[in-house]
Structure 1
């Protein structure tokens, strides 16, 4: 019998790509998606996927849908506690074993909280060797409040609700879903460079960030979902894959930020968007004020966030095979550039103007 799979976030960059990967690898799975609005394009693209109208605040809808699902893939808002609580409530109503696969991110292990930017940190986090520390990270870390709910569910209901936390670093590459197909990282840097009028780095620009291609994220999701289906079919749940052990970094390589700034500046200068390709040092204050402040720019451009995907390699033999960041960086930047140009033309057309 086909597993009943519920998935959220399918119009987003990651969730949409996961939906594409799962339905392509296993068209026999019975998949249901929760959507704010069901478009005809969505129906045409995924005619075999059932849909439920609702959002992350629709607690009753989320709980009811989860209660009918063998596997829940929560690939939407990583920080919405209410949505996670509703999904766990629904899973708690089941008498049969169930699996929860939750999307998080490596902001939780960044050194942004230390308040020192642009320098190199030698700390590389392992999802095997450092799992005890990861499970006890303070709640002021990004994503931690919801991650904590998942860890607690695993500890309290581990014989019934089997959990996995997917923790990718910065992601690049073109997505495959019906909605957003661009990563957050590259467009954000593009826009920040335009605001600053130059590619930039903080201090020496030696801070390092782990990255992964969206296709490698998708392949790991397929591994974890297939493991859940195998466990459902056999009744044999491997402890090394779930619960506290079910925490998966996805990192495939690393970027030194000054080198990234130089490569980005070269491409944007070739497009005539900035005057010089040479990256410039920016102050902590300047970067901190970008996009209205709030600290996100300092996290992305000044901190270290280094992780190693040991568990995926150990339990699944996962190996990243997608192109490296530098191989697709120009395509990612051009995609965002072309989207912005189309937006300008569309707005001017609505105003009765021509470009």
Structure 2
């Protein structure tokens, strides 16, 4: 019997790409997606995917759908505690083994104490999994990650969990909805506002990176591992539960190099006057961008991780192009989207 798989977040950047990867690799799987609204375009693109109408606040719908699923891939809102609690409630109703794969992110590893300088700390999802599980409650994504670890401890006999933690993601998505990452559009908009590409302090802070296609391949491998366990009745403990943490880092760059590549591409496209970089102090940055903690983390902080678990136990190997190779295409995608948004606004004004 084909495994029954429930996926959330399938109109999002990562969730949509995961849906595309799994349905392409395994069209025989019984896949259901939860959607706020089911469009004809979605049905045409995925005629074999079943759909349920609901959102992250639809606790009863989420719980019922999870209770009927062998594998739940929660690739939607990483910080919605209610949605995770509902999914876990549904999984808790099952008596047979089930798997939960939760999408989080390495923003929880960010160092907010210093900006623009290189941190020597590189987190491993094998060596540091216990420390990761004990991160303080105020870290980004931590409250929902904690629910997953608690479920693994309380129900590990039949709810097998994994947390997937990507760093900055880039590359064009493959799903039916959002096809752009968060990082590139965010930096694009900041550069336009600042009129140049920039870095904080010395610009030596380092960021782990991953192409969306490498995340897609990891999800396929992880789902295949779950299906193998369901078929054989055996479980590799090193892949799930208290050990089930997956960083997905494919490469690493210091921020000054990211800024240089982005500035060069935006200048070549005529979006800024010069590719020359601007150095900004933390104080100047707070003034320019309203003291956004997220922006300071994105542009000035370190977030370094190694994908040891996926490489060691799933045979995962990132093969997609690096950020510098695709940055111009990502920027151009975002620029075209912004132009379309402006044209839509003008057209709506004309209608009035």
Same fold (TM over 0.5): yes
Match of 2:60 in 1: 60
Match of 2:253 in 1: 255
Match of 1:286 in 2: 284
The answer as to whether partners of 1:198 and 1:277 remain within 8 angstroms in 2 is: yes
Match of 1:127 in 2: 125
Displacement of 1:36 after TM fit? 0.3
Match of 1:94 in 2: 94
* TM-score relative to the length of structure 2: 0.98
Q: Secondary structure at the match of 2:350?
A: coil
The answer as to whether partners of 2:152 and 2:159 remain within 8 angstroms in 1 is: yes
Structure 2 residue 201 is the aligned partner of structure 1 residue 203: yes
In the TM superposition, what whole-angstrom CA distance separates every residue of 1:253-281 from its partner, at most 9, and x where no partner exists? 00111111111111112222222211101
Moved more, 316-325 or 282-291: 282-291
Matched residues, number:
351
| Unmatched segments (≥5 aa) in structure 2 | none
Q: Secondary structure at the match of 1:111?
A: coil
* TM-score relative to the length of structure 1: 0.97
Q: Matches of residues 116-195 of structure 1 in structure 2 within 5 Å?
A: 116-195=114-193
Match of 2:39 in 1: 39
Of residues 300, 304, 310, the one that matches 2:308 is 310
| Unmatched segments (≥5 aa) in structure 1 | none
Displacement of 1:351 after TM fit? 2.1
Match of 1:24 in 2: 24
Match of 1:76 in 2: 76
Displacement of 1:178 after TM fit? 0.2
Query: How many Å separate the matches in 2 of 1:61 and 1:275?
Result: 51
Dislocated runs of 4+, deviation >3 Å: 288-294
State the Cα RMSD in Å: 1.1
Query: How many Å separate the matches in 1 of 2:288 and 2:124?
Result: 32
Query: How many Å separate the matches in 2 of 1:317 and 1:205?
Result: 34
